[in-house]
Amino acid sequence: MPDQTSGPSDDAEPGGAPRHAHHRHEDRPEPDVVAPDVAATDEVSDETVQDETVGDETVGDEDEATPEPATPVAPPQPFLPGGSRFTPAAPSGTRRLWNAVTQKPDGGQVLVAVLVALLGFGAVLQVRADDDALANARRDDLVQILDGLRRQADRLDDHVAELESDRRDLVSGADTEAAALEQAQERARSTGVLAGTIAASGPGIILTISDPDREVNAYTMLRAINELRVAGAEAIQMRGGGNDEAVRVVASTAFENPRPGVLTVGGKELEPPYEIVAIGEPGELTGSMTFANGVIASMEQDGAEATVDEYDDLTVDVLHEPQPPQYARPAPEDGDDE
Amino acid sequence: MIPIAGLVIGILAGFVFDVSVPLELQPYLPIAIVAALDAVFGGIRAVIEGIFNDKVFVVSFIANVLIAAFIVFLGDQLGVGSQLSTAVIVVLGIRIFTNVATIRRHIFHA
């Protein structure tokens, strides 16, 4: 504070004033001597407050300050018992306050009012802005908060990585499962082709046997089927052109002649001409039928006529109805499966 | 009378206008408010003691606010902002307590 007058009075107002008050109060234990003096000064300053002239005000202030050098004499008996320390001898503080509040307003108070209004405004703003904790946090606190958040983010990242790896495992597991399902379905299809439970198509041959005298017996037929299997036939069906019965030839299909001239295949009686459809490599299948002293040769010896035709695309569409095994059941597996 | 009306008007204005404090001023506003509070209590005490002077009050109010804000600013520049603002708060708080204690003695005689 460079200003001479405002410097000490600024000090005297909020912080320095306790000294004055103290000394004044200390003076009071001797009411006879000092109190009138104090009362007089208080009276004067009160009056100046009422009058509200700056010059008088500072004079009053100085008046308050001037007793200060003299006071060191007083302190030897500051704490006399029974002294009425806080009983003001002048108009009481409450009355002064009341006077100040109710006095006629003047121009000097406007500036005070503006400042106090600013204080109220700022305080309310600050109280309302305090909702945002981060905005008012100091740098250290921010660093700490940031650190905490970073740690939390790290933990969450770890969590995310964990979950992602779980997800990868599950997805790959699902893929494996799907692949296994695909494989199983593929196996079921091929097994179905072998077992005769589903239709099959592909290149192959048709062996047509016209047997007007019904001389071709079950043994010869079984031999023909066996030769076809040797040549790699994968699906075989046999049709009796005479009664239009057809049989899918599978592992359990039996050939028999219950009576001479009657051929039953898989429990169905077939009448000539027979037509055997076999799916496999056509050349091999044909070769298996036509080799010297082979199936066709022996059939022709029996008086039948057999011809082989190769086709690029044949369909074996007669289905075998599998019976659940009555006696055989899967043997207990040793060790790991299959 | 006018200062009391000013305080009420200021508080009402603070509630009515939703002004956000400028970012640069945000660290200094709380300290400035405490410093202003100190000046206000000092002023009330001066009124009670009969030595109030509005010029002194205005100067001390502004000086208090500016010095408090400046100390905090300086502390922030020096890297001891939180400690210095704590120090300012402590000092201002002690002064406020002292002033209020004196006011209390004058009013309640106790």
A266: region left, alpha or beta (phi > 0 left; psi from -120 to 50 alpha): left
Establish if B15 belongs to a structural domain: no
Establish if B9 belongs to a structural domain: no
How many Å lie between the alpha carbon of A147 and the closest alpha carbon of chain B?
19
Cβ of A97 under 8 Å from any chain B Cβ?
yes
How far, rounded to the nearest angstrom, does the alpha carbon of residue A243 sit from its chain's CA centroid?
68
Mutation target for B interface from A4, A64, A112: give the one with most B CBs within 10 A. A112
C-alpha dihedral sign at A16, A18, A20, A26: negative
Cα A241 from Cα A314, distance rounded (Å): 18
Sheet architecture: strand order including A245-249: A245-249, A235-240, A274-279, A200-210, A305-316
Domain extents for chain A? Answer: 6-91, 198-316
Q: Model confidence at B93, in pLDDT bands (50, 70, 90)?
A: very high
C-alpha dihedral sign at A43, A46, A51, A56: positive
Q: Please, how many CA atoms are within 13 Å of residue A274, restricted to the half-sphere of its CB?
A: 32
Complex confidence, ipTM? 0.81
How many Å lie between the alpha carbon of A173 and the closest alpha carbon of chain B?
55
What are the chain A neighbours of B20 within 8 Å (beta carbons)? 129
pLDDT at B106 over 70: yes
Percent of chain B with pLDDT over 70: 99
Query: What are phi and psi for residue A247, nearest 5 degrees?
Result: -135, 135
B62-71: pLDDT as tens digits? 998 999 888 8
Tell if the CB–CB gap between B54 and A102 is shorter than 8 Å: no
pLDDT of residue A1: 36
B16-54: pLDDT as tens digits? 887 777 777 777 888 888 999 999 999 888 888 888 888
Q: Model confidence at B94, in pLDDT bands (50, 70, 90)?
A: very high
pLDDT of residue A105: 67
How far, rounded to the nearest angstrom, does the alpha carbon of residue B51 sit from its chain's CA centroid?
19
Its CATH architecture, for the domain A198-316, is: 2-Layer Sandwich (3.30)
Cβ of B32 under 8 Å from any chain A Cβ?
yes
Establish if B67 belongs to a structural domain: yes
| Partner residue facing B61 (CB), from A21, A109, A115 | A115
Establish if B16 belongs to a structural domain: no
Domain span including residue B33: 23-108
Predicted TM-score of the model (pTM): 0.41
The answer to whether residues B102 and B92 touch, using CB atoms and an 8 Å cutoff, is: no
Establish if B12 belongs to a structural domain: no
User: Per-residue pLDDT for chain A (338 aa), expressed as one digit of tens each?
Assistant: 333 333 334 444 444 344 444 444 444 444 443 334 443 334 333 333 333 333 333 333 333 333 334 334 444 444 444 444 555 456 676 777 777 777 766 777 788 888 888 888 888 887 876 566 666 667 778 888 899 999 999 999 999 999 999 999 999 999 998 999 999 999 988 888 888 888 888 999 998 888 888 888 888 888 888 888 898 888 898 888 878 888 888 888 888 888 888 888 888 888 888 888 999 998 888 888 888 788 888 888 888 888 888 899 988 888 888 888 888 888 887 655 54
H/E segment holding residue A26 = helix A17-27
The answer to whether residues B43 and A115 touch, using CB atoms and an 8 Å cutoff, is: no
Establish if B7 belongs to a structural domain: no
User: For the CA atoms of chain B, what is the radius of gyration?
Assistant: 16
Query: What are phi and psi for residue A196, nearest 5 degrees?
Result: 80, 15
CB under 8 Å to B49, separation ≥6 — which residues? Answer: A17, A20, A21, A45, A93, A96, B102, B106
Establish if B78 belongs to a structural domain: yes
Residue A326 CB coordination number (10 Å): 6
Helix and strand totals (H; E) in chain B? 4, 0
Residue A326 is given by DSSP the state S
Please tell me the total count of domains within chain B.
Answer: 1
The answer to whether residues B66 and B8 touch, using CB atoms and an 8 Å cutoff, is: no
What are the chain B neighbours of A111 within 8 Å (beta carbons)? 54, 58
Identify whether A18 is preceded by a cis peptide bond (ω within 30 of 0). Answer: no
What are the chain A neighbours of B42 within 8 Å (beta carbons)? 13-15, 17
Establish if B95 belongs to a structural domain: yes
pLDDT of residue A331: 87
